[in-house]
Amino acid sequence: MPSYDFILNGSAVTVDAPADMPLLWVLRDKLGVTGPKYGCGVGVCRACTSHLDGSEIQPCTVPVQNCAGRQVTTIEGLATGDQLHPVQQAWLDQDVAQCGFCQPGQIMAAVALLRRTPTPTDADIDQIQNVCRCGTYFRIREAIKQAAGELG
């Protein structure tokens, strides 16, 4: 079985896995990283949203072979020690989560949006396609606006 080396949340990892194994399964089943959630397996619900070299991806559709030598960041890699990322803090401040299942993916999508668009409009925020079954979209929008103000 091939071996793949990459940086996961700031630490070097090596994993033995089939080349076409989705990164989501490598993260969850082989590396014990449970923040990215399995929702649909085809990149539609976006519950697994993470970052590859700083860009938003859905690891349920990215084969591990595509990650060799690159940087993978999940929700677990956003905080710095005990200091939450501004988006994570805004999520708490705005009481976004209900069931919480989609929130790691939502937060990772919001971080990617704010990197691309530091002062997003409502239309920019509406382009985030992550599904929230609880429907907390209004609070998600408010949290993104709060974080944008803190990051800007």
Q: Which of 133, 109, 5 is nearest to 51 (CA)?
A: 109
Rounded to an integer, what distance in angstroms lies between the CA atom of residue 82 and that of residue 58?
26
The one-letter amino acid at 3: S
Residue 1, pLDDT score: 87
In this prediction the pTM is 0.95
User: Is pLDDT of 140 > 90?
Assistant: yes
Host domain of residue 96 = 86-151
pLDDT band with cut points at 50, 70 and 90 for residue 152: confident
54 and 105 share one domain:
no
Rounded mean pLDDT, 103-115: 97
Rounded to an integer, what distance in angstroms lies between the CA atom of residue 104 and that of residue 31?
17
71 and 16 share one domain:
yes
Rounded mean pLDDT, 147-151: 95
Rounded to an integer, what distance in angstroms lies between the CA atom of residue 65 and that of residue 6?
10
Q: How many domains does the chain have?
A: 2
101 and 70 share one domain:
no
73 and 13 share one domain:
yes
DSSP state of 45: S
